[in-house]
A and B are shown apart, each in its own frame.
Chain A
């Protein structure tokens, strides 16, 4: 055992190669969701590839894309292959998309920190023996830990869609790459739906619900853009009402994260954002995602 520890541990420490935030100590439940639901977990790891690859290629080919349809087709083909043969390990974004990570340091750290919360909430919901107040308390403890990292924590005050759609560069990504945009929204839908599935009271019901969400995800992306019928980014309140009711602040924080993903997609795709301004825009909009007053919604939770 000592020999094997000795040999394996160097890779633990070499796997992250940039100044990424670290959740330490990791929650006891960390990555237990994947032990129960490996297919769903591997899809989540594959989504990391999907996001990062499109960002990196938009950046590497900035100003050179003459045929957006062809570009979209190639990147979709590449990502579909990964989704169908997903990784069993979590691959760092800086390995997949080094230029993107270098250009958007605050966005990337913000996403990383939020994605850890996403993961650990799934882990708790999947494994908690208690299905009532103790489980909810545990999730909220994680959220408190998340919020303690103030320089990176996305606000839990819900924002209006103007945050995402009211900027001078807004919607450029979805206009040019409608299918890939729907793929990203389908990822977000899948993540949100998993929370709802994991709130089912019994293990058997949760197993069935997670399988159903996974199958529905495959249906959603089976024939993009037609197969995913989203007019707007999926929101937690609508797609996961029970999760929203139990954890309204976490839900708002996750929705804000998903809006920030759309914002970075638009910055990367828009010709209105000069390359020299991208880094500054990345920092400005990440700060807005953390700011409870920026684009604050006055009818949060309203139907």
Chain B
């Protein structure tokens, strides 16, 4: 009986392992995510809503070299049904000089993009719905950090100072890659944070 139970357990593990291998192999490679990230809007306009006051925030950037040779990826498998998994990915790409963040007339150098993303398409199909995004890209357009070390300071707390490295950035989320629409935008400006609203006037 013990042998039978062991055999069933081993067979089920092998079956899961096979299914897991099939699904992981069918999932996109790092280049897919790099290509997706390169579609992030290279310019945009937002406003900081304050009653009775006008504000304007625009940005523009050109991609330069990526910091990592390829997009970093990590999968968390469902422990009860390992064929399903949840994929995260991260990337950093430097910007060319001349890229900027313009906040009410103050022009700051935009230096790099950091993306923390998730690809939900390989999780349990029962959970998927058109009300849940297939992708979520958390986009940071970072100002003033030409080496793009962040969001957490390397080696912190041993390296001292604040835990986070970036004092100023524009943050938004992309939940539909169709037109890479920025949502839930925020500005961190010298450590203060504000919610922003997208301004879409169409192309000039």
Chain A interfacial positions (CB closer than 8 Å to B): 1-5, 7-8, 11-12, 14-15, 17, 30-31, 34, 41, 45-46, 49, 53, 56-57, 60-61, 71, 74-75, 78, 81-82, 85-91, 95-99
Alpha-carbon separation in the docked complex, A7 to B119 (Å): 11
Contact residues in B for A2 (Cβ distance below 8 Å): 80
23 cross-chain CB contacts under 8 A: A1-B78, A3-B76, A5-B127, A8-B120, A8-B127, A11-B133, A11-B136, A12-B131, A15-B175, A31-B129, A41-B130, A45-B130, A56-B200, A57-B200, A57-B201, A78-B202, A82-B178, A88-B130, A88-B176, A89-B176, A91-B175, A91-B178, A99-B199
B71 in the interface, Cβ–Cβ < 8 Å?
A: no
Is B7 among interface residues, defined by CB-CB distance under 8 A?
A: no
The 7 closest A-B pairs by CB, nearest first: A87-B178, A95-B183, A60-B201, A57-B202, A98-B197, A4-B123, A87-B176
> Residue B99 at the A interface, CB < 8 A?
no
List the B side residues contacting A61 at CB < 8 Å.
201-202
Most chain B CB within 10 A, of A15, A56, A89, is at A89
Q: Mark B63-81, 1 if CB is under 8 A from A, else 0.
A: 0000000000000101111
Say yes or no for B97: interface residue by CB 8 A criterion.
Answer: no
Are B127 and A89 in contact, with the CB atoms below 8 A? no
A4: which of B78, B136, B198, B202 is its contact (CB, 8 Å)? Answer: B78
Complex contact B202–A75 (CB within 8 A): yes
CB neighbours of B120 from chain A (8 A): 8
- Asked if B179 and A90 make an inter-chain contact with CB atoms under 8 angstroms apart, the answer reads no
Query: Taking the nearest CB of chain A, how far is it from the CB of B110, in angstroms?
Result: 23
Q: Which residues of B contact A41 (CB under 8 A)?
A: 130
| B residues near A34, Cβ cutoff 8 Å | 130
B179 (CB) vs chain A CBs: closest residue: A82
Residues on B with beta carbons closer than 8 Å to the beta carbon of A30: 129
In the complex, what residues of B have CB within 8 A of residue A53's CB? 200, 202
Q: Which residue of the partner chain, among A14, A60, A96, contacts B181 with CB atoms under 8 Å?
A: A96
CB-CB nearest in chain B for A14: B184
B residues bordering A, Cβ < 8 Å?
Answer: 76, 78-81, 84-86, 118, 120, 123-124, 127, 129-134, 136, 175-176, 178-179, 181, 183-184, 197-203
Hey, which chain B residues are within 8 Å of A81, CB to CB? 179
* A95 contacts B198, C-beta separation under 8 Å: yes
Contact present for B175 and A1 (CB under 8 Å): no
List 15 extra interface pairs beyond A74-B202, A95-B181, A96-B181, CB under 8 A.
Answer: A1-B124, A2-B80, A4-B76, A4-B78, A7-B118, A8-B86, A11-B133, A41-B130, A82-B179, A86-B178, A87-B178, A88-B176, A91-B176, A99-B197, A99-B199
A7: B residues at CB distance < 8 A: 76, 86, 118
Residues on the B chain within 8 Å of A87, using CB: 176, 178
Known contacts A3-B79, A15-B133, A82-B178; is-contact A97 B200 (Cβ 8 Å): yes
Contact of A8 among B79, B123, B130 (CB under 8 A): B123
Closest approach, in angstroms, between the C-beta of A119 and any C-beta of chain B?
A: 9
How far is A3 from B200 in the complex, measured between Cα atoms in Å?
37
Which residues of chain A are near B118, meaning CB under 8 Å? 7
Q: How far is the CB of B43 from chain A (nearest CB, A)?
A: 15
Cβ–Cβ contact B133 & A89, under 8 A: yes
- The CA-CA distance from A53 to B131 in the complex, in Å, is 20
Interface pair A1/B200, CB less than 8 Å apart: no
CA distance A293 to B144 in the complex (A): 61
How close is A22's CB to chain B, nearest CB, in angstroms? 11
Instruction: Please judge, given known A-B contacts A12-B132, A14-B184, A34-B130, whether A60 and B78 are in contact too, CB under 8 Å.
Output: no
Least Cβ distance of A90 to chain B in Å? 5
- The reply to whether B181 and A91 form a contact with Cβ atoms under 8 Å apart is yes
A residues within 8 A CB of B124?
A: 1, 4
> Which residues of the other chain, A, contact B84 by a CB distance below 8 angstroms?
1, 4
Q: Are A74 and B132 in contact (CB under 8 A)?
A: no
Instruction: Decide: A31 and B201 in contact? CB cutoff 8 A.
Output: no
* CB neighbours of A96 from chain B (8 A): 181, 200
Query: A97 vs B197: C-alpha distance in the bound complex, in angstroms?
Result: 10
Complex Cα–Cα for A49 and B179 (A): 10
* B175: A residues at CB distance < 8 A: 11, 15, 89, 91
Which of chain A's residues has its CB closest to B88's CB?
A7
